Structure 1
Amino acid sequence: MSMAHPAALPAGRDTAWPVALAVLALGLLALGWTFAEEAVAAVHVWESSTAFNHCWLVLPVAGWLAWQRRDRLAGLQPQPMPLAALAALVAGIGWLLAERLGIMEGRQLTAMAIVECFIIAVLGWRVGKAMAAPLLYLFFLVPFGAFLVPLLQHVTAWFIVSGLQVLGIPYYHDAFIIEIPAGTFLVAEACAGLRFIIAALAFGALYAFVMFRSPWRRLVVMLLAVLVPVVANGMRALGIVLLGHYLGSAEAAATDHLVYGWIFFSAVILLLVVAGLPFREDVASLPGTPAAAPHPVRRTAVLASAVLCAAAALAGPAVAVTIDQAGAAPPRIIHAVLAADGCQPEGTALRCGEDLIEARLLVFSPRTTWAGVTAERYRLTGNHDEDAIFSVKAGDADWQVRRDNEATRTVAAAAWLDGAAAGDGLRTRLRQALNSLRGAHGSPVLAVVTWQHASAGQRPSLQGRFQAQLAELAQRASDLSQQE
C-alpha cells in the first residue's frame, strides 16, 4: 500500500478548510446583520447616485480577482490569528466615533475594516496576504467621497473662469453660476466630476492589480486616476461653455452634456490604459511564496479566534445601542405658517396664487446624532446631484436652497444647535456627539421651507419678498435649539 507524502497531505488539512469556511460564513452573516444599516445605506446610494452606480460591479470584480489568484492558496491552510482582534477593536472604536459624529461613510469604512479583520482572524495572515488584492478591492463597495463635491465644484468653476479669462470672453461669475452673453451655466453637483473620479479610482485599482507588480507603479496609477479625471472634467466643463459661446445658446450646449462627458471620460481612460501598456508587469512571473511547514489546526482555535475578534468588533455597536436606548426619540414637528401680502393660509401651508409654501421646524432629541438631522434634511429637501443649489442669507443663517431639475420645487433648509446656526461640518458633528453622550445642552433644530411652483422655471423670491419671514423663522429655531 502506497502512502501519500506528508507535504501533500498536511496534518489537519482535511478538516481545517471546511471548519474555517463554516465559521467564516457564520461570522460574516452575524456581522452583516449587525451592520445591516450601513449595507442598506450603501445600496441606496448605489441606486440613487450616478457617481456610485459602478459599485454594483465591485463584488463580481473582487470575485474575479480572487479566482485569478486561487493558485496562491496552494499549500496554505487556515491559521487562526487572534491578534487580529486588536485591529478589530480599533475599527470598532472608529465605528463608534463615526456613529456619534453622524458620518455614514465612516461607519461603512470601519464596518468593512471589521469584516477584513474577521477574515484574517479566521483564515490567517498568509491567506489574507495571498488574497490582498480582492480583499482591498472590497473597500470600493463603500460610497465614499461625497464630501468632496463642493471642493470639486469650485475647481471646475475655476477651470471655466480661467479659460474664459485666457480667451477674452466676457463673463460674470458668482460661486457656481457663470454667465456669458450666450446664456447662464450652473456648475451643479453632477458637473463636479466626482462620478468620473470614483469610477477612475475603481478602474485604476483594477488596472494596477492586474497589470503591475511594483508598489510604486501601482501608486503612480492611483495618483493619475485621481488627478487626470479632475483636469479632464475641468476641460470638459470649459468645452461646454465654449460650445455655448460659439453656438450662441447655453441651452443647446448643455443638451446631453453628461452623456458627452462620459464619452470624453472614456476616451481619457482609454488613453491612460494605452500609455501604461509599455510599463506592464503582468507577464512577469513572481517567485512562488514558500508554503509554511504544515501543522495541525484545531477547530477550537478557529472558533476561539473568531469569537474573540467578533466580540472586540461589536463593542462599539453595543455602546451605541446603549446610548440610544437612554433617550433618543423621533423629532418633534412644528408647522409654522408664514405671512405675506397677497397670500392666504391654507391649512398648515401658505397659498400664494397657484404656488404653495410650507414651513416646518423639526426639533430633535439632545440624544440624537447629527446623522439624524442630515437624514431628515435629505428626506425633506432631496439630494439629486443635478439639482441647482444656491444660498440665501436670512437671520443668523445661510439657508441652503435646492431647486429640482424640473424647476417645479424649491426647498430652503437651515439648522441650529445650542442657539446658533450650524452647518454639517466636523465641529457641529463633534458638538452634537458630546451632547448625545450627556443628553443635555439643547436640541438640534432643522427649519425647512418648501415652495411648490405652479409653473416650471420660476425662481422664488426668497431673498426679497420672504427674507423677513425666514429671519423670523430662524429666530424661532434658534430659541428652540436652546431648550432642554
Structure 2
Amino acid sequence: MPSMGHTHHHAGALTPTWDEPPELSDRTAGRVIVVLLLVGVVTLYLPTVMRLVDQVWSTAEQGHGPLILALCAWMAWQRRAQLAALPDLPNRWLGGCLLAVSLAAYVLGHSQGVLGLEAASLIGVLAALLLCFKGLAGVRVMALPLTFMLFTVPLPGILVQTLTMPLKVAVSACAEWLLHAVGYPVGRTGVVLMIGQYQLLVADACAGLNSMFTLEALGFLWMSLRPRSTPARDALLALVILPISFVANVVRVMVLVLVTYHLGDAAGQGFAHDFSGIVLFVAAVLMMVAAEAVIRRPQAVQGRAA
C-alpha cells in the first residue's frame, strides 16, 4: 500500500507537465503563421522589386533604391528583439482595414502599370501585419524602417515633370550669378549657360529633385544613427536638407562650367561630369553635418549645463 501511495504521489507531481505542450504548440503555431505570411508577402512583391530594379533602380537618378531597401531590412532586423518583447495586443480591426486598402492599392497599381503605387502598397501591408499581431506599439517600434521605405518608391512622373523645370531654371540662375560675381564671362538663356565659346545645357539630373530625394534618405539614416534629439530638431534638419540639396546642385553645375571653360568640352563631358556627382554628395553631406551641429548645439549646451 505505501508503494501505491508513493506512485500516486509521483503521478500527481507529473500532472502539470501535461499542460505545457499546448502552450508550446500555440507559440509554434503563431511562429508558423508569421513565417507563412512573410513568405506570402515576399512572393507577392518579389516581381514588383524586380520591375523596380529593371525600370527604375537601374538609372543613375534612382540607383540608391536597392541600398535603401537593404538598409530598411537591416534596421528592421536590429529591432526584431524589441518587437518580439512586446505583448500581443493586436488591433485587428484597424489592421484589417489597412490591409484591405493596401492590397487594393497593389491591385490597382499592378493592373494599371503604376509602379509607384504598387511599390508603396508594400509599406501599408507590412504596417497592417504589425497592427494585426502587435498593435500600435509594433508599428511604433518599426516606424523608422517603414518610413525609410518611402525613399524606395519612385516619384510620380507628373510630379517630376512639374518640378524639374523650375528647379533647373533656379539652379542655372544661381550658378550664373555666382560665376558672374567672381568675374567669369558667363551668360544664360533659360537653362543654357554660355561661357566663352561654350554652351552648356543644365540637364534634368542637375535639377536637384532626385538628389533631394536621395539626400533626404541619407538624412533620415544619419538621424537614426545619431543620438536621439527632439522631434522638432529632427524635423528642422529634415527640412534643411532641401535647400542643402539645392546648393549642392548649384556647386555641381559651377564645377562643370569651370572645368569646361578651363579644360575644354571633352573634359567637361567625360570624367569630370561623373566626378561632379561625387562632388555634389560630398558637399551635401558636409553641409548636412554642419547643419546638424548647429541645430543640435542648443541641446548639447543645455545637457552640459544640466
Fold shared by both chains (TM-score > 0.5): yes
> Residue by residue, what CA displacement relative to the aligned partner does 1:17-67 show, whole Å, maximum 9, x if unpaired?
644342222123223333444222122246511223222223442344345
C-alpha separation in 1, matches of 2:199 and 2:53? 35
Q: 1:133 to 1:14 in 2, by over 3 A?
A: farther
Hey, what does 2:97 align to over in structure 1? Answer: 86
Q: 1:269 to 1:162 in 2, by over 3 A?
A: closer
CA contact (8 A) 2:109 2:118 kept: yes
> Residue by residue, what CA displacement relative to the aligned partner does 1:83-125 show, whole Å, maximum 9, x if unpaired?
1111222233444554565421122112332232123223332
Hey, what does 2:231 align to over in structure 1? Answer: 215
Hey, what does 1:386 align to over in structure 2? Answer: none
Hey, what does 1:29 align to over in structure 2? Answer: 39
Q: Report the Cα offset of residue 237 of structure 1.
A: 0.9
Equivalent residues in 2 for 1:386-425, closer than 5 Å: none
CA contact (8 A) 1:20 1:122 kept: no
CA contact (8 A) 1:149 1:189 kept: no
CA contact (8 A) 1:149 1:192 kept: no
Indicate yes or no: 2:173 matched with 1:156. Answer: no
Q: 1:240 aligns with which of 245, 248, 256?
A: 256
C-alpha separation in 2, matches of 1:122 and 1:112? 16
C-alpha separation in 2, matches of 1:228 and 1:130? 30
Equivalent residues in 2 for 1:13-412, closer than 5 Å: 18-45=28-55, 47-70=57-80, 72-73=82-83, 75-83=85-93, 84-99=95-110, 102-144=113-155, 147-150=158-161, 151-164=163-176, 167=180, 169=185, 171=187, 173=189, 176-211=191-226, 212-245=228-261, 247=262, 249-255=264-270, 256-277=272-293, 279=296
Q: Report the Cα offset of residue 194 of structure 1.
A: 4.0
Q: Report the Cα offset of residue 202 of structure 1.
A: 1.4
CA contact (8 A) 2:82 2:141 kept: yes
C-alpha separation in 1, matches of 2:217 and 2:245? 12
Q: TM-score, normalized by length of structure 2?
A: 0.72
C-alpha separation in 1, matches of 2:231 and 2:27? 31
> Residue by residue, what CA displacement relative to the aligned partner does 1:325-356 show, whole Å, maximum 9, x if unpaired?
xxxxxxxxxxxxxxxxxxxxxxxxxxxxxxxx
Q: 1:266 to 1:148 in 2, by over 3 A?
A: farther
Q: 1:159 to 1:46 in 2, by over 3 A?
A: closer
C-alpha separation in 1, matches of 2:48 and 2:85? 36
SS at match of 2:62: helix
Q: 1:161 to 1:221 in 2, by over 3 A?
A: closer
Q: 1:56 to 1:95 in 2, by over 3 A?
A: closer
> Residue by residue, what CA displacement relative to the aligned partner does 1:373-392 show, whole Å, maximum 9, x if unpaired?
xxxxxxxxxxxxxxxxxxxx
Q: TM-score, normalized by length of structure 1?
A: 0.48
Q: 1:222 to 1:16 in 2, by over 3 A?
A: farther
Q: 1:237 to 1:16 in 2, by over 3 A?
A: farther
Using CA pairs below 8 Å that are at least 6 residues apart, which structure has the higher relative contact order? 1
Q: Pick the structure with more strand per residue.
A: 1
Percent identity, aligned pairs only, is: 23
CA contact (8 A) 2:208 2:245 kept: yes
SS at match of 1:80: coil
* Structure 2, gaps ≥5 residues long: 1-21, 301-306
C-alpha separation in 2, matches of 1:162 and 1:46? 30
> Residue by residue, what CA displacement relative to the aligned partner does 1:244-274 show, whole Å, maximum 9, x if unpaired?
34x2734433432231331342132133224
Hey, what does 2:13 align to over in structure 1? Answer: none
> Residue by residue, what CA displacement relative to the aligned partner does 1:376-425 show, whole Å, maximum 9, x if unpaired?
xxxxxxxxxxxxxxxxxxxxxxxxxxxxxxxxxxxxxxxxxxxxxxxxxx
Q: Pick the structure with more helix per residue.
A: 2
> Residue by residue, what CA displacement relative to the aligned partner does 1:178-228 show, whole Å, maximum 9, x if unpaired?
444331212223323344223212111112223234222221222122331
Matching residue's letter, 2:139: G
Root mean square deviation, CA, Å: 3.3
Q: Report the Cα offset of residue 155 of structure 1.
A: 1.5
Instruction: Choose 95-104 or 109-118, whichever is displaced more.
Output: 95-104
CA contact (8 A) 1:191 1:237 kept: yes
C-alpha separation in 1, matches of 2:145 and 2:23? 24
Q: Report the Cα offset of residue 14 of structure 1.
A: 5.3
CA contact (8 A) 2:237 2:291 kept: no
Paired residues in the alignment total 269
